[in-house]
Amino acid sequence: MFDRHPDRAALEQFLDGDLSEGESRILQRHLFLCPVCEDRMIALLPGSKASPHPAADESYRDLIHRLLTDNRTEIASRRYDLTREQQIASGLWREIEPHPPERRHALIRESSRFRSWGLFELLVDLSRRAVADDPARAEDLLRLALDLAEQLSLGDYGPGSIEAAKARAWTWMGNAWRVRGDFRQAERAFQTAEVFLAQSWLDPLDEALLLELKAPLRRVQGRYDEALELLAEAIAIYREVNEPHLQGRALMVNGLVLRYQGNLQAAADCFRTSLFLLDGIRDPRLLVTAQYNLIGCLEAAGHGAEAATLIPEARALMEQAGTRSDLIRLRWTEGRVAILLGRLAEAEAALLEVRESFVADERAFDAAQVSLDLAALYLAQGRRDETRLLAAELIPIFQSREIYREALAAVIVFQQAAVMEQLTTGLLEEVTAYLEQARGNPELRFRDAEPALS
C-alpha cells in the first residue's frame, strides 16, 4: 500500500484506527525510517495548527509523542544489544566451525549461547562471501542460519523479527541456488522469502535486497526488462533510506544486466557511477569487482586504450582486497585488451598464462573460453596447428568434470571445426557467447544461444 510516502488520507486513517493491522504495521515501519512523514503525521495530531481535530485534546498528541519516544528508546536499546552480539559472534563461530554440519546444528539447538542475532548475521555474511567461489558452502551456512532463526526469541528481538531473519536467509539462499544453476530452487527460495518478508517487521533494506538478488535470476533467464525493473525499485529504496553503498552495489548488478542485454555504453555508465557510491572500507571486494566489470565492459565495447589505463589501478586494488581468482581474471582481460591494441605477443603470453591456471584448477568453462580467445588470435595469424592442439586439449578437461552435455557439445563442434580446418571467426563468436551464458544455465541449448555481444 505504501510503496513510498503515505498521503494525508492514509495518515488520518492510521490516527483514527481505520487501517488494517497489516497496513498499520507497514505505515508504522515507514514512520520510524522517515522523519518527513513522521513530522507530517504529528502536524495532523490534536493541538497542531494544521490539525483538523479539536485542539483541546492535548493528551492524545502527548500520547503519540510518548509512543514514538518509547519506540525509539527501545530501538536504541536493541541496537546496543545487537552491537554486543556482533562483537562476540566471531568467537561463537570459532567454537562451532570445526564441527561437522550435523553437530553445528545440534549445538545451536542445545545451547542458548548460540541463539543470537549477531551470530545469525555473521552466518549470512559468511555465506555471501562464499557464494562466488563455493556456493555449496554458502548453502550450508544459510541452512545453519535458518536453523538459528528458528531458535531466536521473539521476546528478545520483537514482533516480526523471526520472519525478517528467515526472509533474509531465504533471499541469500535463492542467490546461492542461482549461482549453482538451479533456477527452479532459486525461484522457490525467493518466493519463500517474499512470504516471510510480508510477515516481518518490513525493513526496507530487506525488501531492496530481495529485489536486488532476484534480478540476476531474471537475467540468466533472459528476462532482462524484468531484471532492470527489479533493480530500479531496489535502487530507489536504497536512495530513499540514504544507503549510497548499497545503491552502488545494485547499480553494479544493473550494469551487468545491461551488458548481457548488449547495451555496453549504459553498462559502463552504471559501473562508473557505482565506483563513486561504493564504500571501499565497508566492502573493498565490491570496489574491486566494480572496477573489473568496468574494464571488461570497455574491452567488450572495443575501447582498448581506455581499458588499459584502468588496469594498473585495478591490479593494485586486487592485490590489497581481491583473491587469486580476481588477479587471474584481470590478467585474462589484460590479454584481451592487448589484442585490441595490436600487441599480439603480449596478448598471447597473458592468455597462455591464464589458460594454464584454469586448466590446473580444473575450471573447464574458463579454460574453454580463454582457449577460444587464443584460437581467435591464432586464426587471425594463420596458426592452425596451435588451434587444433588447443581444441584437442579441451575435450579431456570437460569430460573429467560434471559439465552440461550441451556445453560439451559446443566444445566438440569447436574441436571438430579446428581439426577439419573449417574454423571461422563466426563459429568462435557463437561458441564463446554460448559458453558465457551456459555457465549458469544448464538448460540452455547450444544452438538456441543468443549471438555474441557487439
Q: Looking at the domain assignment, is residue 449 inside a domain?
A: yes
How much is the pLDDT for 26? Answer: 72
Based on the number of CB atoms within 10 Å of its own CB, is 2 exposed (0-12), middle (13-18) or buried (19 or more)? Answer: middle
**Mean pLDDT, range 234-251, rounded to an integer:** 93
HSE-CB of 209 using CA atoms within 13 angstroms: 21
Q: Is there a domain that residue 433 lies in?
A: yes
* Per-residue pLDDT, 327: 94
pLDDT digit string (tens) for 100-125?
999 999 999 999 999 898 999 999 99
Domain annotation covers residue 108: no
Q: Among the three residues 47, 77, 107, which one is the final residue of a domain in this structure?
A: 77
The dihedral built from the CA positions of residue 305, 309, 310 and 316, taken in this order, carries a sign that is positive
- In a domain, residue 170? The reply is no
Place of cell 581468482: 325
For residue 144, the model assigns a pLDDT of 97
Q: Are the CB atoms for 406 and 438 separated by under 8 Å? A: yes
Short-list 393, 439, 453, 397, CA closest to 418: 393
Inter-helix orientation angle 224-240/204-220, to 10°: 160
pLDDT tens per residue across span 26-44? 777 677 667 777 777 777 7
pLDDT on residue 49 = 46
| Residue 272 CB contacts under 8 Å (≥ 6 apart), including other chains | 294
* Neighbouring C-alpha atoms within 13 Å toward the C-beta of 316: 5
**At which of 32, 47, 77 does a domain end?**
77
Give the pLDDT band of residue 277 (cuts 50, 70, 90). very high
In a domain, 57, yes or no: yes
Q: What is the pTM of this model?
A: 0.78
Residue 339, pLDDT above cutoff 90: yes
Place of cell 587471425: 380
Amino acid letter, residue 280:
G
Count of domains in the chain? 2
Question: Which of 51, 77, 103 corresponds to the end of one domain?
Answer: 77
pLDDT at 313: 94
Residues of the domain holding 373: 360-454
Cell numbers 581474471 correspond to: 329
What's the average model confidence in pLDDT over 400-407? Answer: 65
DSSP 448: G
pLDDT at 82 over 90: no
pLDDT bin (cut points 50, 70, 90) of residue 149 is: very high
Q: Are 435 and 368 in contact (CB under 8 A)?
A: yes
| Mean pLDDT, range 281-305, rounded to an integer | 94
Neighbour count for residue 40 (Cβ, 10 Å): 17
